[in-house]
A = this chain, B = another copy of it.
Amino acid sequence: MQIGMVGLGKMGGNMAERLRRAGHDVIGYDRHPENSDVAGLDELVQRLQAPRVVWVMVPAGDPTRATIDQLCEALSPGDIVVDGGNSHYRDDKKHADQLGSRGIGFVDVGVSGGVWGLQNGYALMVGGDAEHVDRLMPIFQSLKPEGEDGYVHAGTVGAGHFAKMVHNGIEYGIMQAFAEGWELLEATDIVTDVPGAFKSWRTGTVIRSWLLDLLVRALDQDPDLSELKGYAEDSGEGRWTVQAAVDHAVPLPAITAALYARFSSRQEDSPAMKMVAALRNQFGGHAVASAEGQRTKGADAPGADVTPPVEAQH
């Protein structure tokens, strides 16, 4: 079927390609003219036959909002907009209402697959009304991986991005679990073949998984990861997962620990630990010793501070 694709970056470009290979008629728009089939969103809309489907694959937040604002003006009743980016699930409701007031349908899709998706297919988590989702099935069928899994109609508008958000939260926790285990193995010298241990776990163990496969690949390339810095960004979805959990009084200790570990990794120096250090100085250490010197080192305290490196007990 015919579809417009807005945003032909690493994700959108590959998805367009996968759809073309499956025989769909994809007209792409990208803000970089050299990669775009059309000059702008208006031309994109004109070249699509009504009822149109436009898949938006641009960064979440302002870029997605601006694109949907423009499409809301340019499209016609009966058309459908798909947001395949990483938007917050609460934005979906707003976008659906905005477009719906003009008779335009809206479907949110959480897309997983990264750079492997072109070849292997993209896992799709879909939110929206059945009438809109049904019309998009040929597209979903071509994007998703082979086999029975890799696709879910998770619920109404917002459910797709919510499911994807939780998927990413789980991903944070799993990555952290592997990372902690690796750190413990590296910190001790008991297991002398750490990459070998990870490799062995790929078969027959409880923790065999695609992330373990990737991790073995990473260790193949750099056995002690010495070429990397211990610095990890976080995308919005980890934060949103924690905030949604707090909103709903759901305890997420492991996923939150994973998020906080990334926050800490980006700090040159921990502000909180400055304060802990300050307190330790105050009740037992050198700072206080100097400030209170007359009290602890007076002539009437012959033994004070004689055993130099022993800190005062507190």
Binary interface profile of A, 148-183, with partner B (CB < 8 Å = 1, else 0)? 011111111011001100111111111111111111
Residues in chain B near residue A12, CB distance under 8 A = 303, 307
* A121 close to B (CB within 8 Å): yes
Kindly state whether residue A104 has any CB partner on chain B within 8 Å.
Answer: no
Flag whether A196 is at the interface (Cβ < 8 A): yes
Given contacts A206-B112, A252-B260, A280-B233, contact A190 B158 (CB under 8 A): yes
Contact B13 A301 (CB under 8 A): yes
A168 to B207, CA, bound (A): 8
Question: Which chain B residue shows the least CB distance to A251?
Answer: B260
Bound together, the chains give a CA A221 to CA B275 distance in angstroms of 12
Query: Nearest Cβ distance between residue A81 and chain B, in whole angstroms?
Result: 18
Binds B, one of A38-46, A67-75, A131-139, A266-274: A266-274
CB <8 Å contact, A170 and B159 = no
Of listed A153, A208, A249, A314, residue having the most chain B CB within 10 A: A314
- List the B side residues contacting A300 at CB < 8 Å: 17
Structural contact, B296 and A14, CB atoms closer than 8 A: yes
| A290 CB → nearest B CB, Å | 11
CB distance from A161 to the nearest CB of B (A): 9
Sorted nearest first, the 4 A-B pairs with minimum C-beta distance are: A13-B303, A173-B177, A8-B303, A209-B209
CB distance from A41 to the nearest CB of B (A): 16
Residues A283 and B116 in contact, CB atoms below 8 Å apart: yes
A105 close to chain B: CB less than 8 A: no
The digit string for A113-145, where 1 denotes a CB below 8 A from any CB of B, is 111111111111100000000000000000011
Query: Of B152, B183, B264, which contacts A197 at CB under 8 A?
Result: B152
Interface: A51 (CB within 8 A): no
Chain B nearest CB from A289 CB (Å) reads 6
Asked if B229 and A150 make an inter-chain contact with CB atoms under 8 angstroms apart, the answer reads: no
Shortest A302–chain B CB gap in Å is 6
**Which residues of B sit under 8 angstroms from A66, Cβ to Cβ?**
none
Name the one of B14, B147, B201, B252 contacting A149, with C-beta atoms under 8 angstroms: B201
Give the residues from 11 to 41 in chain A that come closer than 8 angstroms, CB to CB, to chain B.
11-14, 16-17, 28, 30-32, 34-35
Partner of A304, one of B10, B150, B217, B225: B10
